[in-house]
Amino acid sequence: MTTIFISLLVMYMVIGIFTFSRPPLGESLKEIYEELSTDFFYSEKLTQKLLGVFLFTIFSICIILLLFVFPIVLIKEKVKFGDLIKFKQEAKSYNTTSPQRTTSINCKSDRLDRDFLFRKFPVLETQNLILRNLQPSDIPQLYKLYIDEDITREFEFENPQLYDYDVTLKNITDGFKLKQSITWGMILKKENLLIGMRTCFIDGDDDPAVFEGMVLNSYRGKGFTTEAYIAIIKFLRQANVKAIKAKTKKYNKPAISMLEKFGFINVSNPSLFSYINNNTYVFEKDLTQENSLLLTDTKIADNLSVDTYYKLSLNYYKENQYALANYCIDKAIAKAENNSDFYYQRGLVILASIGRIKALPDFKKAIEINPNHINAMIESGNILYVLGNKSGGREYWNRAANLGSDRASKLLQNNPDWGAVT
């Protein structure tokens, strides 16, 4: 594009200088008409005037290209002169002898980086897992996955006992070769065993990636799926994947809970998604938000004290790292189920990351454990009031105000039955 611009600019200058050294266009056209009216033979003077008119026409076209067409092309291709200069600077600093930089220049872009996704199979590692491509040695475990009763029901497999798993493995791995999907085998480090799979389907550059996966029944509920999600989502963000979708059956409560914990939003609508039915939910997560719910540290110890988990949750909450905050407060609640402050803290995390409706049960649980928990009353009142249950909301504020809360009293004063929370 830069070459085209420079070429047009040079033509503009040369033709402009030549053209404006000629007589005005109107005068030239008048003289040409007079000569054609009287002399019907070849004239060198006539040829020069025709050439002047021709050059003026070309000059006008150049002006149109420079002033209108070329800027539109630049905008359409999202090319800016600053980006061109930056690219040149990066290109000059590019070291072709470096083994780590022999394929591409790492120019910042907001477009999907398919080369990053499919150049080489992305092997990822977490605290307990290696996420790698499937291999022929995994076929026995692949068979166990497919015949797992819950997995068969979730994916609606028909007679998986009769599958040719050599062909199944080839179909899975071909997705990466065709740059259509990436399937990671979840290999448990301490057993060097395939315990599950995570697949990410990549369609158009602007379409959400589609997530699905499976884990053997005996390895569920141990945090392995969470670890896999953390690593894969981080990888997808590095490739500029803007959003991801995941679908699950409505009865799969653990999967739904995990997706919601990671900030996925239920966007199910059969009229929009032809591949779902009444028994399926579709969830979507935006990966472009800076505060997107995403664990960034998977090496939080499993044997910390209750107070340590609680303090970690408070710190992560302040830093807007809601998944880590939720992870830590879950650990604290698992060790001390009757602490009202822990449920209040989890309610705050869920309120900030997922939404009001999901946060309300934790605030109510905090009040159940401690009937004098003022902050939990205020948050419960706020949620009910905003959701339209104004009398219910004001009831919670009244209880808090009676316990001496100035904040609750102001909420009652500023938000009558017909008002809104301010």
Number of Cβ within a 10 Å radius of residue 158: 7
**pLDDT at position 93:** 37
Contact by Cβ (8 Å): 340, 350: no
Nearest-angstrom CA–CA distance, 187 and 133: 10
Count Cα atoms within 13 angstroms, Cβ side, for 168.
Answer: 15
pTM strictly above 0.75: no
Predicted confidence at residue 34, as pLDDT, reads 55
pLDDT value of position 27:
55
Sign of the CA dihedral running 377, 382, 385, 386: negative
**pLDDT for the residue 5:** 54
How far apart (Å, rounded) are the C-alpha atoms in residues 176 and 117? 9
The residue among 340, 347, 288, 289 whose CA lies nearest residue 317 is 347
Q: Each residue of 291-325: pLDDT tens digit?
A: 444 444 444 556 678 888 898 888 888 877 788 88
Residue 89, pLDDT score: 41
What is the separation of C-alpha 165 from the centre of its chain, rounded to a whole number of angstroms?
A: 33
B/e letters for 296-313, b = 16+ CB within 10 Å, e = fewer, are eebebeeebeeeebbebb
Residues of the chain with pLDDT under 70: 1-56, 59, 62-63, 65-110, 269-278, 289-303, 417-422
Q: How many CB atoms lie within 10 A of CB 268?
A: 15
